[in-house]
Amino acid sequence: MNETLLLIIEWTIKGGLLAFGLATGFAYTTFYERKWAARLQIRIGPNRTGPGGWLQPAADGLKLFFKEEFTPANAYKFAFNLAPVLTMVPAIVIMAVIPWGTQIDFFGRIIPLGISNELNVGVLFLLSVASVSVYGIVLAGWSSNNKYAMLGGLRSTAQMISYELALGLSFIGPIMLAGSLNMAEIIRAQQQGVWYVVYLPLAAVVFYIAALAEVNRSPFDMPEAEQELTAGYHTEYSGMKFSLFFMGEYIKMIAVSAICATLFFGGFDGPFVNTYPLLGPLYLGIKIFISLGLMIWIRATMPRLRYDRLMAFGWKVMLPLSLFNVVWAAAVIVFFNVR
Amino acid sequence: MVTNLLTDYWPILVLLLVSLGFAGIAMGGGLLLGPRRSSARKQEAYESGMRAIGPGTRQMPVRFYLVAVLFILFDIEVIFFLPWAVVFRQYYENGLGAFILLEMLVFIVILLVGYAYAWKKGALEWE
């Protein structure tokens, strides 16, 4: 009983830490994006709030708290209020299977770093939870009772059905090399050998592109194309409900970066990580930071794709490439005799 | 390290509750702190400042329904890939590599035939 209570306390603290970390991470990702995109476009970016603009995210967050929570008269109220939650919560829950490190000794108590590192269907969990958050977007588009929102929701569906296949198939390579769906096991296999990006460079690229489409990032940000659809699926949302969508999108960016790091770049792996387990979260953070920087760079550089081209690219380029990747991974095992 | 159902799935449930609470606090806080000034014009659906014409959700031609059907087929195929991917290494190390590879190649080829057929029939095009 005592042990059960301790475990529940441990899980709650770790869950709280993760949610808090992701919320902070979200806030500073917006800041990172504004600063970095500004630099790429030879501007300065926000620099007025606090030293060097570092308090900008806090100011933005506080402002959103004091904005009006508005529900249009024609909206389907229940679904309208459910949608932001349904977008944000899965984004956090995805992170449950990403290991942050091995384990630490906390006053004689062994605490694994991560929520559920050893989940035996980890990769399957990732895929299924990632798809749930699309429901939030579609529901938001439909329940707003607004034409722009409806089109945004439909575009989101089209995008999901075009890129989820490539995303799922690019997971196959690391699974085959590690022989497991367990995320911690995949990292251990990479620690013993080399990072899988060496064996599966194409799969990493396919994964990254499909992940960009999955989190609706530019050049795949059709569901919220400002110039055509006002704000897409969240046109009618304001205040905190809007910020939950915003948060969901950015936390998903962090999550896919973490997944990319775990499957292809060794996750928390880095020098001395086995001696000092607390370095694990730091290494993972650095990898996520680099990946986010790349996403922002792509956004600042690439124009948006046309809608039918986007679907054609998903079906005619990404799908054959990812099928080829499966065969490639088998060939890597057979010919290079990995591990 | 103990790995069983309890230590694997309960933490995820706890995280789910924590993040639900997080969302609840955010939405509740916004409701408490924000102003509420409503008007008839404000209640209308946003349509770039014009009066909204007709209902927001109406019947729309969903052009990609055929693609959606294909998606379901191919997504099931991805799920079929997963167990094969997990056991591939075991089979290979036990000397059954050629067998399991051929099995999967047959599966992939059957799929590719269907894929090529769909492509040729124009299911992936927008008319």
- What is each CA distance from A276 to A14, A62, A186, A280, B60, in whole angstroms? 19, 37, 20, 8, 57
Question: How much is the mean pLDDT over chain A?
Answer: 83
Is B96 contained in some domain?
A: yes
Is B31 contained in some domain?
A: yes
Burial class (CB in 10 A: 0-12, 13-18, 19+), B10: middle
Q: Between these two residues, A86 and A118, which has the higher pLDDT value?
A: A86
Is B55 contained in some domain?
A: no
Q: Report pLDDT digits (tens) over A215-244.
A: 887 777 766 766 677 777 777 787 788 888
Taking residues A82-88, report their average pLDDT. Answer: 88
Domain count across chain A: 1
| B70 shares its domain with B102 | yes
Q: Report pLDDT digits (tens) over A240-291.
A: 888 888 888 888 889 989 998 888 888 787 777 777 777 888 888 888 999 9
Question: Which structural domain, as residue segments, surrounds residue A124?
Answer: 3-336
Is B30 contained in some domain?
A: yes
Q: What is the per-residue pLDDT for B1?
A: 44
Q: Decide if pLDDT at A204 tops 60.
A: yes
Question: Which structural domain, as residue segments, surrounds residue B31?
Answer: 2-43
Query: How far apart (Å, rounded) are the C-alpha atoms in residues B119 and B32?
Result: 54
Q: What is the per-residue pLDDT for A338?
A: 61
Is B127 contained in some domain?
A: no
- List chain A residues with CB under 8 Å of B124: 311-312, 315-316
Contacts with B, A 158-187, CB within 8 Å: 158, 161-162, 164-165, 168-169, 172, 175-177, 179-181
Is B49 contained in some domain?
A: no
Q: Decide if pLDDT at A43 tops 80.
A: yes
| B66 shares its domain with B33 | no
| B87 shares its domain with B115 | yes
Query: How far apart (Å, rounded) are the C-alpha atoms in residues A241 and A65?
Result: 10
| B70 shares its domain with B106 | yes
Question: B64 vs chain A: nearest CA distance in angstroms?
Answer: 7
pTM for the full predicted model: 0.86
Q: Which of B102, B111, B113 is nearest to B80 (CA)?
A: B111
Q: Report pLDDT digits (tens) over A288-313.
A: 999 988 988 888 888 887 777 888 88
Averaged over successive runs of 10 residues, the pLDDT of chain B (127 residues) comes to 64 86 84 78 73 71 77 84 83 78 84 86 71
Q: What is the per-residue pLDDT for A25?
A: 86
Domain count across chain B: 2
Q: Which of A83, A202, A200 is nearest to A134 (CA)?
A: A83
- Find, in chain A, the residue whose alpha carbon is nearest to that of B124: A312
